Amino acid sequence: MGLKYPKEFIFGFSESGFQFEMGLPGSEDPNTDWWVWVHDPENIASTLVSGDFPENGPGYWHLYRQDHDIAERLGMDGARIGIEWSRIFSKPTFDVKVDVARDERGNIVYIDVAEKALEELDRIANKDAVNHYREILSDWKNRGKKLIINLYHWTLPLWLHDPIKVRKLGIDRAPAGWVDERTVIEFVKYVAYIAWKLGDLPDLWCTMNEPNVVYSIGYINIKIGYPPGYLSFEAASKAMKHLVEAHARAYEVLKRFTNKPVGIIYVTTYHEPLKESDRDVAEAAMYQAVFDFLDSITIGRSMSIGERKDLEKHLDWLGINYYSRLVVERYGNAWRVLPGYGFACIPGGTSLAGRPCNDAGWETYPEGLYIMLKRCWERYRLPIIVTENGTADAIDRLRPRYLATHLYQVWKALSEGVDIRGYLHWALVDNYEWSSGFRMRFGLVHVDFETKKRYLRPSALLFREIASSKEIPDEFMHMTQPQILI
Amino acid sequence: MGLKYPKEFIFGFSESGFQFEMGLPGSEDPNTDWWVWVHDPENIASTLVSGDFPENGPGYWHLYRQDHDIAERLGMDGARIGIEWSRIFSKPTFDVKVDVARDERGNIVYIDVAEKALEELDRIANKDAVNHYREILSDWKNRGKKLIINLYHWTLPLWLHDPIKVRKLGIDRAPAGWVDERTVIEFVKYVAYIAWKLGDLPDLWCTMNEPNVVYSIGYINIKIGYPPGYLSFEAASKAMKHLVEAHARAYEVLKRFTNKPVGIIYVTTYHEPLKESDRDVAEAAMYQAVFDFLDSITIGRSMSIGERKDLEKHLDWLGINYYSRLVVERYGNAWRVLPGYGFACIPGGTSLAGRPCNDAGWETYPEGLYIMLKRCWERYRLPIIVTENGTADAIDRLRPRYLATHLYQVWKALSEGVDIRGYLHWALVDNYEWSSGFRMRFGLVHVDFETKKRYLRPSALLFREIASSKEIPDEFMHMTQPQILI
Amino acid sequence: MGLKYPKEFIFGFSESGFQFEMGLPGSEDPNTDWWVWVHDPENIASTLVSGDFPENGPGYWHLYRQDHDIAERLGMDGARIGIEWSRIFSKPTFDVKVDVARDERGNIVYIDVAEKALEELDRIANKDAVNHYREILSDWKNRGKKLIINLYHWTLPLWLHDPIKVRKLGIDRAPAGWVDERTVIEFVKYVAYIAWKLGDLPDLWCTMNEPNVVYSIGYINIKIGYPPGYLSFEAASKAMKHLVEAHARAYEVLKRFTNKPVGIIYVTTYHEPLKESDRDVAEAAMYQAVFDFLDSITIGRSMSIGERKDLEKHLDWLGINYYSRLVVERYGNAWRVLPGYGFACIPGGTSLAGRPCNDAGWETYPEGLYIMLKRCWERYRLPIIVTENGTADAIDRLRPRYLATHLYQVWKALSEGVDIRGYLHWALVDNYEWSSGFRMRFGLVHVDFETKKRYLRPSALLFREIASSKEIPDEFMHMTQPQILI
Amino acid sequence: MGLKYPKEFIFGFSESGFQFEMGLPGSEDPNTDWWVWVHDPENIASTLVSGDFPENGPGYWHLYRQDHDIAERLGMDGARIGIEWSRIFSKPTFDVKVDVARDERGNIVYIDVAEKALEELDRIANKDAVNHYREILSDWKNRGKKLIINLYHWTLPLWLHDPIKVRKLGIDRAPAGWVDERTVIEFVKYVAYIAWKLGDLPDLWCTMNEPNVVYSIGYINIKIGYPPGYLSFEAASKAMKHLVEAHARAYEVLKRFTNKPVGIIYVTTYHEPLKESDRDVAEAAMYQAVFDFLDSITIGRSMSIGERKDLEKHLDWLGINYYSRLVVERYGNAWRVLPGYGFACIPGGTSLAGRPCNDAGWETYPEGLYIMLKRCWERYRLPIIVTENGTADAIDRLRPRYLATHLYQVWKALSEGVDIRGYLHWALVDNYEWSSGFRMRFGLVHVDFETKKRYLRPSALLFREIASSKEIPDEFMHMTQPQILI
Which H, E and C letters describe B40-57, residue by residue? Answer: CHHHHHCCCCCCCCHHHC
Active site residue C210: yes
Q: Which residues of D touch A169 (CB under 8 A)?
A: 170
Helices vs strands, H then E, count in chain D:
16, 19
Is the Cβ of D231 closer than 8 Å to some Cβ of chain A?
yes
C486, pLDDT greater than 70:
no
Cα torsion angle, C303, C308, C310, C316, sign:
positive
Is the Cβ of B349 closer than 8 Å to some Cβ of chain D?
no
**Domain for residue B433, yes or no?**
yes
**Domain for residue D485, yes or no?**
no
DSSP secondary structure of D28-55: ----BHHHHHHH-HHHHHTTSS-S--GG
Contact call for A169 and D173, based on CB within 8 A:
no
Is the Cβ of C220 closer than 8 Å to some Cβ of chain B?
yes
pLDDT given for residue C333 in this prediction: 86
- How many Cβ contacts (< 8 angstroms) between chains A and D? 55
One of C21, C210, C252, C471 is an active-site residue; which one? C210
Chains that touch D (3 or more CB pairs under 8 A): A, B, C
Contact call for B454 and A446, based on CB within 8 A:
no
Beta strands in B64-221 (DSSP E): 78-82, 99-102, 108-112, 146-150, 204-209
D486, pLDDT greater than 70:
no
Total number of domains constituting chain B: 1
Q: Which residues of D touch C465 (CB under 8 A)?
A: 461
Q: Which residues of A touch B455 (CB under 8 A)?
A: 474-479
Q: In CATH, what number is assigned to the domain containing residue B398?
A: 3.20.20.80
pLDDT given for residue A56 in this prediction: 98
Contact call for C458 and D397, based on CB within 8 A:
no
pLDDT given for residue D485 in this prediction: 74
Give the gap in angstroms from C-alpha D252 to the nearest C-alpha of chain C.
45
Q: What is the DSSP letter of D449?
A: T
- Contact between D243 and D215 (Cβ < 8 Å): yes
Of the residues A166, A168, A172, A345, the best mutation for testing chain D's interface (the one with the most D CB atoms within 10 Å of its CB) is A168
**Domain for residue B298, yes or no?**
yes
Contact call for C48 and B173, based on CB within 8 A:
no
**Domain for residue A485, yes or no?**
no
Is the Cβ of A45 closer than 8 Å to some Cβ of chain D?
yes
For chain A, what is the radius of gyration of the CA atoms? 21
One of D15, D55, D388, D433 is an active-site residue; which one? D388
**Domain for residue A96, yes or no?**
yes
Contact call for B458 and A454, based on CB within 8 A:
no
pLDDT given for residue D418 in this prediction: 98
Contact call for A46 and D168, based on CB within 8 A:
no
- Contact between C368 and C272 (Cβ < 8 Å): yes
Give the gap in angstroms from C-alpha D250 to the nearest C-alpha of chain B.
48
- Residue numbers of B between 317 and 346 with CB closer than 8 Å to D: 340
Measure the CA dihedral C305/C308/C312/C314, to 10°: -70
Tell me the sheet residues that pair with C35: none
Q: What angle do CA C412, C416, C419 make, to 5 degrees?
A: 95
Q: Which residues of A touch C353 (CB under 8 A)?
A: none
Mean per-residue pLDDT over chain C, rounded: 97
Is the Cβ of D479 closer than 8 Å to some Cβ of chain C?
yes
Q: Which residues of C touch B229 (CB under 8 A)?
A: 231
pLDDT given for residue A230 in this prediction: 97
What is the CB neighbour count within 10 angstroms for residue B141? 17
Q: Which residues of A touch B398 (CB under 8 A)?
A: 397
Contact call for D459 and C458, based on CB within 8 A:
yes
Is the Cβ of B347 closer than 8 Å to some Cβ of chain C?
no
Contact call for B229 and C233, based on CB within 8 A:
no
What is the CB neighbour count within 10 angstroms for residue C134? 15
| Domain carrying residue C249 | 3-479
pLDDT given for residue D302 in this prediction: 97
One of A15, A21, A388, A433 is an active-site residue; which one? A388
Q: Which residues of C touch A486 (CB under 8 A)?
A: 340, 352
Is the Cβ of B173 closer than 8 Å to some Cβ of chain C?
yes
Integer Cα distance of A317 and C417 in angstroms: 71
Contact call for A223 and D43, based on CB within 8 A:
no
Per-residue pLDDT reduced to its tens digit, A68-126? 999 999 999 999 999 999 999 999 999 999 999 999 999 999 999 999 999 999 999 99
C185, pLDDT greater than 70:
yes
- How many Cβ contacts (< 8 angstroms) between chains B and D? 4
**Exposure of D320 in the CB half-sphere (CA atoms within 13 A):** 32
**Domain for residue B485, yes or no?**
no
Of C46, C173, C230, the CB nearest to B220: C46
Q: Give ipTM to 2 decimals.
A: 0.95
DSSP secondary structure of D245-303: HHHHHHHHHHHHH--S-EEEEEE--EEEESSGGGHHHHHHHHIIIIIHHHHHHHTSEET
Q: Which residues of A touch D339 (CB under 8 A)?
A: none
- Omega within 30 of 0 (cis) for the link into B228: yes
CA D279 to chain centre: 27
One of B21, B210, B252, B471 is an active-site residue; which one? B210
Q: Which residues of A touch C486 (CB under 8 A)?
A: 340, 352
Contact call for C396 and D400, based on CB within 8 A:
yes
A458, pLDDT greater than 90:
yes
Is the Cβ of C124 closer than 8 Å to some Cβ of chain A?
no
Integer Cα distance of B40 and B168 in angstroms: 12
**Domain for residue C486, yes or no?**
no
Phi-psi bin for D416: left (phi > 0), alpha (psi -120 to 50), beta? alpha
- Contact between D174 and D217 (Cβ < 8 Å): no
Residues near A59 by Cβ (< 8 Å), separated by ≥ 6? A21, A22, A23, A24, A27, A452
Is the Cβ of C274 closer than 8 Å to some Cβ of chain A?
no
Of A395, A401, A459, the CB nearest to B483: A395
- Contact between B342 and B362 (Cβ < 8 Å): yes
- Residue numbers of C between 431 and 470 with CB closer than 8 Å to D: 446, 448, 454-456, 458-459, 461-462, 465
pLDDT given for residue D1 in this prediction: 72
Question: Residue-wise pLDDT tens for chain B (486 aa)?
Answer: 789 999 999 999 999 999 999 999 999 999 999 999 999 999 999 999 999 999 999 999 999 999 999 999 999 999 999 999 999 999 999 999 999 999 999 999 999 999 999 999 999 999 999 999 999 999 999 999 999 999 999 999 999 999 999 999 999 999 999 999 999 999 999 999 999 999 999 999 999 999 999 999 999 999 999 999 999 999 999 999 999 999 999 999 999 999 999 999 999 999 999 999 999 999 999 999 999 999 999 999 999 999 999 999 999 999 999 999 999 999 988 899 999 999 999 899 899 999 999 999 999 999 999 999 999 999 999 999 999 999 999 999 999 999 999 999 999 999 999 999 999 999 999 999 999 999 999 999 999 999 999 999 999 999 999 999 999 999 999 999 998 876
Q: Which residues of D touch A42 (CB under 8 A)?
A: 220, 231-233
Active site residue C312: no
The separation between the first and the last C-alpha atoms of chain D, rounded to the nearest angstrom, is 31
Q: Where are the alpha helices (DSSP H) in A60-126?
A: 60-73, 85-88, 115-124
Is the Cβ of D220 closer than 8 Å to some Cβ of chain A?
yes
One of B21, B120, B363, B388 is an active-site residue; which one? B388
Of A47, A169, A233, the CB nearest to D42: A233
pTM for this predicted structure: 0.94
Chains that touch A (3 or more CB pairs under 8 A): B, C, D
Q: Which residues of D touch A230 (CB under 8 A)?
A: 167
**Domain for residue A42, yes or no?**
yes
Residues near B338 by Cβ (< 8 Å), separated by ≥ 6? B274, B327, B328, B329, B344, B352
